[in-house]
Structure 1
């Protein structure tokens, strides 16, 4: 059995999954939170895929939760190892052939999964200037992981890598070129691992070659982005130099006139860190309606709440704007997919996002859209000019696939 350990390390958290790559299912996974705080939180789930013919669910889960102080990422990795040792599956029985690390920002340097050595580690750390909230945690997880698994290939998989195929016109900001080059200011795009996975799954589902399809993928979660994909290559995406640009998100503003930042500094006397916090942590759905979860927003809309209705309208207005723009950039579209928490579960969001595209022959079937069922599914009418799909994303599996490809 070929097994890959996937580590997604944040500033104060460490998410992990031990993937059986023959069946492409997790054997065990967990989340360690509040690293470096008074009390850490640990959740570890052991999974067993039911044997063929068993009258049982696809997976049989046992979850173990505990709390204890966790000083740093080295200790977090040790906690992970302890969880496998205590609850299973045993790493001695399922030794990883590779360890895949999610890294948010690869800048313009990394455009593919990359074997990690000391120089790569230094380069990822150097890119922290572009992702100060994300890359330092990834570096800490990489260092701790390499110490714990010294004889195993470690592979960095970058959120930005899929978007390295963006045309120059798509990634270039119209500012002084010398300033932009000096400070590495350009559009990079994010959620690339998810967009790549979903576009490939969609192509397989509709039974057409990936390189012959024009696709749009909406990754709608607390963070949200949309990507235009032509022949399997990202050609336009909503997030920019940082994940702040683009769609309205849970706490992020998305697109905003850059002069607003100047206005807030000049007139409101806000410092740069305060503006950063405002736009990244106190805007989006939270700023408009006081809530982040789309289920709460939709409940507010049903109750006739003005703030929730406005937030929903702003959110879906932006989705429609990007849908139209990306169809124009692609010169048409064959497949439109929705993924991640909101995209997979909020039927009303999907319907409103494409509500004005009937003139292009793109039609959502109401009953298919409202029906909840696991796995990938079509929600467009049989007569629709483009297939509209709901495609569950699996970033851990995609990271594991890319990591295994280098072993």
Structure 2
């Protein structure tokens, strides 16, 4: 049986997992655990022709992990027979410590915990996933794969904030980025497909969380997320770029606490704040069929979303001194036909020309959606963070 990697992606209230053959890229089994910590949680496990759904209380990530491993034994494939050589864990924040995957030991666990202040919704739950996997699979090496690693070597002009240096260095304040595993995977796939080694690429990872990156060859030169995932593009529930004085204003004038402002910017803003819904599909439906007021708000929100993307594309094109490829990826980027058309329509003055027929699909494989004569190629490339994590884990073990 081929070697496999069990990939675990622990979110703040969710847990995604896949059992992957990193050589072929084939997923032997996969699943999703949702609503951890709520009254009733949900687990979906898929193996071969078997799809299993379970609804029951999941008070914490440890309980969820235990049930997931039980499902492998009950539904398949049994992990003892799966020839697992590593468990790969997605870690959102690696700070300035990690520029690649790391074999988990006491030091790595301590640093992940230390960096929780920069990713309070993600690093703690990922650490729980590591500890539970260690307890239940004690003989299998655990590997941490960091979202920030791809952006570890950003040039200083992109990484530094214009903040007092002593304060910035004392508190490790700089731009770390996020979604790096996806940006690395997608940009590498584009280079493989086009056969170019020094391509100037812009990758748009558009999901509930959204980020853009500027990449020359295999090196990231800029990215939209900053010290935390709050900076940059408009997202499902996050503001993206905002005047920092808004925070001070809300505290001084509205009397909001630090925690209340944090909740507002991270969980009650973005598309949800503008429309009442953070699901782009629902926002599209409202823009087409809601009452007049709701339609107007939804259309305005979509325009804000598109405008922010276009601004980053323009800035990154100038920053790189040109542009060869724009790539859409992740849930919205891969599936929202209208969004891709609207973004590219704004770029026509720059010579970006979209092929409407090619764009009118939700591809399972990489496709080009620009037409002949476009000054830069436009592509849709499905991301595969789990495969990227498995591949990186294998370089360690």
Q: Say if 2:363 and 2:380, in contact at 8 Å, map to a contact too.
A: no
The offset of 1:30, in angstroms, is 1.5
Q: Pick from 287, 294, 297: which aligns with 2:283?
A: 297
Query: Secondary structure in 1 aligned to 2:396?
Result: coil
Q: Say if 2:334 and 2:363, in contact at 8 Å, map to a contact too.
A: no
The offset of 1:131, in angstroms, is 1.1
Q: Which residue in 2 is equivalent to 1:155?
A: 143
Segments of 4+ moved more than 4 angstroms: none
Q: Which range is displaced more, 389-398 or 364-373? A: 364-373
Q: Pick from 235, 251, 276: which aligns with 1:265?
A: 251
Q: Which residue in 2 is equivalent to 1:399?
A: 389
Distance between the aligned counterparts of 1:342 and 1:132, measured in 2? 25
Distance between the aligned counterparts of 1:36 and 1:248, measured in 2? 27
- TM-score, normalized by length of structure 1? 0.93
Q: Confirm or deny that 1:22 pairs with 2:12.
A: no
Alignment RMSD (CA, Å): 1.4
Q: Pick from 160, 170, 174: which aligns with 1:186?
A: 174
The offset of 1:36, in angstroms, is 4.2
Q: Which residue in 1 is equivalent to 2:72?
A: 84
Distance between the aligned counterparts of 1:193 and 1:142, measured in 2? 18
Distance between the aligned counterparts of 1:153 and 1:372, measured in 2? 37
Q: Confirm or deny that 1:130 pairs with 2:118.
A: yes
Q: Confirm or deny that 1:315 pairs with 2:315.
A: no
Distance between the aligned counterparts of 1:367 and 1:248, measured in 2? 28
Q: Pick from 52, 55, 61: which aligns with 1:64?
A: 52
The offset of 1:310, in angstroms, is 0.4
Q: Which residue in 2 is equivalent to 1:379?
A: 369
Q: Matched residue pairs, number?
A: 392
Q: Which residue in 1 is equivalent to 2:12?
A: 11
Q: Confirm or deny that 1:358 pairs with 2:348.
A: yes
1:38-83 Cα shifts (integer Å, max 9, x gaps):
4332211113xxxxxxxxxxxxx42101123344433322211210
Q: Say if 2:187 and 2:201, in contact at 8 Å, map to a contact too.
A: yes
Gaps of 5+ in 1: 48-60
Q: Which range is displaced more, 336-345 or 371-380? A: 371-380
Q: Say if 1:105 and 1:159, in contact at 8 Å, map to a contact too.
A: yes
Q: Pick from 296, 299, 302: which aligns with 1:306?
A: 296
Q: What is the correspondence of 1:40-119 to structure 2 with a 5 Å cutoff?
A: 40-47=41-48, 61-119=49-107
Tell me: CA distance 1:348–1:123, structure 2 relative to 1, closer, same or farther (3 Å): same
Q: Say if 1:14 and 1:31, in contact at 8 Å, map to a contact too.
A: yes
Gaps of 5+ in 2: none
Q: Which residue in 1 is equivalent to 2:128?
A: 140
